[in-house]
Chains A and B, each alone.
Chain A
Amino acid sequence: MSTDLDVDALLGDAGKHVIACCGSGGVGKTTTAASLALRAAEVHGRRAVVLTIDPAKRLAQSLGMEALDNTPRPVAGVRDGSLDAMMLDMKRTFDEVVASHTSADRAAEIFANPFYQAVSSTFSGTQEYMAMEKLGQLRATGRWDLIVLDTPPSRSALDFLDAPARLARLLDGRVIRLLSASTPGARRSMLSLMGASAAVFTRVFNKVLGGHLLTDVAEFTASLEDTFGGFRKRAEATFRALQDDQTSFLVVAAPEPAAVGEAVYFTRRLTEERMPLDGMILNRLTPVSADLSAERALGAAAQLEEADPEDPVAAVLRTHADLARRRAAEERVAARYAAACPEVPQRWLPSLGVEVVDLEDLRSFGAAAAGVHSELSAERRCPQAVENRTRPDGWPSGRESLSGPRMRGLPVRS
């Protein structure tokens, strides 16, 4: 039974070309993806690229991703290997796909279609298709030997996995052929093949959508048929590539019931789809630095307060008791994952306490994820944060903070 995720073995594996970080929103996916990519470059000499979806502004700045040109750009200040970074621009990716598959006139026509404008920029869901498309493009160039992917903040982490299949189903679907066939100049009439029920169908669609919208949709889908044939093939190829062992999925979670529930669900789905899941990273554990049980701290605080209700040492002890109780509650929630998915290696990480904004922070994060003391980050930009901690590398002390979940009982017990 494995409980320790070996991040360095994963990042150093020359046979791995894609690492996809999945999880619900707010669990630190982007930070995890960026720090793993940086570590892959600096420690393992990989030619890495990180594809992020919606990074925090300051992190984007420090990775040099402000240009927003939808193309990977080198990250300045990387010490070894090479790291490029890009932020996905879904509208632009969609436009590029259209432009590369059709004549300039036809592309202009598609761009002007109101339905295209809505689908490519406004409607949710497009991001998943475009992330998959971009991943395929990056793979096809062969410029990188490791692509680290931050998955979109979907309504569900599963949308990302489902996007290519849904797209394929859509393009193969009878509905789209029906709609394509209903535009002027179509070669074949699906209506005659489908008979009476199709008549009901078009009548209903006309009624529900209004004639105008139907025309827009029909034109749009007809152009999909003309120009997007390769899109489906690539999406399917990307999906298959995700299944082979060149790919690694990492599930990212935080110690909250909803995030852990999503992680369990996602793990099951990946297993069902035969996707190679290599581990789970649990971020944002409350850091606990002192080895003293909550009960003992509260008892001592009460004792001190009997003599002096304002005793500041009691406040220190109560602060510790709160942290210890929070940590214990978080570990109980996190343990649900281990119980549901015992075969998945895990790595638990206490929160850094400061926002991860620059390469130095990413190095510390990556080192902690790999379970080693961050030999690369001798100096931190944030001296106060270091003073507040017990270890010089900026990470909370204690064996427990970086070890696997099963190696100990609750760390707060003395």
Chain B
Amino acid sequence: MTASALPVPRLHIVTGKGGTGKTSVAAALALSLAGPGRRALLVEVEGRQGIAPLFGAASLGYEERHLAAGAGGGEVFGQSVDADEALLDYLALFYRLGSAGRVLQKFGAIDFATTIAPGLRDILLTGKLKEAVSRAESGRMAYDAVVLDAPPTGRIVKFLNVTVESGRLAKTGPIGKHSRSVARMLHSSLTNVHLVTTPAAMPVQETVDAYKELAAADLPVGRIVLNKVAGAKSGEVTEDELEAGLARAGISPEPALLAGLMAEYGSAREELRAVDAYRDRLEQLGRPVEELPLLPEGVDLSGLYQLARALGGEA
């Protein structure tokens, strides 16, 4: 990092409509960011335990844990951040409230905090992210990159901007101060919000909407990832050619089989044309659009490394 350049983004927030594969993309991104000698932290905040199964690992907890070797020889750590734990952590950290924290819990104050002000959860979660990004250990940053498997596009701006809101609400006091410092980081060039979509109408529309919302909220958008793109097929085929071809290959060209294959091939070619149209639409947003292949058998650990290579390292 040169002194004059803007800081390289170190907090990568991966969002997308449900079902677009944002968790897999977040995991692949963490692998790709863990180049030689580098450490990446992969974080989830919704308690879904979506990360662990991808790595064939046991459920993640509040403690950071080694998950896998990075695609470039570094290390990837994983963590599942829970708001209640984060609140106790926060109280202990900023107010040295060892026993008083437990008093709060006994009173139902933790419950209160996450119920009456569910936004407080998001304040705590984003605050925890900031802590991980800025933590230093023995003279160097604890993590070169922090990747968040974030809430879906429908809630992402609300989630990231909660600290702007709370900073406004709590004009004085440490929550206000803390909120404003988290908000500053999230709006800085340290942060990149990546949008994951599949080549389908609704996810692409949501991505375009989310991009506009993020831009309006001054949140820095990184890449747009067009995920689950089926492989390229080519050429016109008539039913007669297909019939002859099947016969050559020793497959009996029953009418139902011919019709079925023609239908599948027709849909697949139409999908390919649609992918081009969606890519054009996404490119108009002016951000880099990266394509990831559809893995026919689903995403397992080797699939994750394949996606990580496709995303390319930034090391």
Q: Which residues of A are in contact with B by a Cβ distance under 8 Å?
A: 24-27, 54, 56-57, 114-115, 118-119, 122-126, 153, 155-156, 166-167, 169-170, 173-176, 178, 197, 200-201, 204-205, 207-213, 216-217, 221, 254, 256-259, 261-262, 284, 287-292, 296, 299-301, 303-304, 307, 310-320, 322-323, 325-326, 329-330, 333, 353, 355, 384, 387-390, 396-397
Contacts and interface: CB of A to CB of B under 8 A. Distances in A.
A201 B104 contact: yes
A78 B47 CA distance: 41
30 contacts: A26-B19, A54-B154, A124-B159, A125-B119, A155-B46, A155-B155, A173-B108, A176-B112, A178-B107, A204-B91, A210-B170, A212-B170, A213-B170, A213-B173, A258-B23, A259-B19, A288-B264, A289-B259, A290-B256, A291-B256, A292-B257, A296-B251, A299-B249, A300-B251, A304-B248, A312-B236, A315-B235, A317-B249, A330-B298, A353-B267
B158 interface: yes
B263 A389 contact: yes
Interface in B6-41: 17-20, 23
Contacts, number: 261
B175 A258 contact: no
Nearest to A389: B263
A207 B175 CA distance: 9
A18 B215 CA distance: 40
A88 to B, nearest CB: 13
Nearest to B45: A155
B260 interface: yes
Interface string B238-270: 000110111011110000110111111111101
B175 A209 contact: yes
A80 to B, nearest CB: 29
A118 B169 CA distance: 8
Contact of B116 (A221, A303, A318): A221
Nearest to A221: B116
Given A210-B170, A289-B263, A325-B297, A312 B231 contact: no
B112 A213 contact: no
B136 interface: no
B264 A208 contact: no
B197 to A, nearest CB: 11
Nearest to A289: B260
A264 to B, nearest CB: 12
Contact of A211 (B53, B154, B173, B270): B173
A204 B234 CA distance: 67
Contact of A290 (B172, B248, B260): B260
B265 to A, nearest CB: 5
**Which of A155, A256, A291 has the most CB atoms of chain B within a 10 A radius of its CB?**
A155
Contacts of A204: 91, 95, 97, 100, 104
A173 B261 CA distance: 63
A155 B203 CA distance: 18
Interface string B47-62: 1111001000000000
B290 to A, nearest CB: 20
Contacts of A25: 17-19, 152, 154
Contacts of B106: 197
B172 A197 contact: no
A213 B169 contact: yes
B212 interface: no
A167 B115 contact: yes
Contact of B266 (A322, A329, A387): A387
Contacts of B306: none
A156 to B, nearest CB: 7
A320 B97 CA distance: 62
B237 interface: yes
Given A173-B111, A320-B261, A208 B266 contact: no
Nearest to A397: B260
A258 B115 CA distance: 26
Contact of B169 (A57, A216, A300): A216
Given A25-B152, A397-B259, 7 more contacts: A26-B17, A173-B108, A175-B109, A201-B104, A213-B169, A313-B244, A384-B270
Nearest to A262: B48
Contacts of A329: 296-298
B173 A118 contact: no
A201 to B, nearest CB: 6
Contacts of A387: 266
**Which of B231, B248, B249 has the most CB atoms of chain A within a 10 A radius of its CB?**
B249
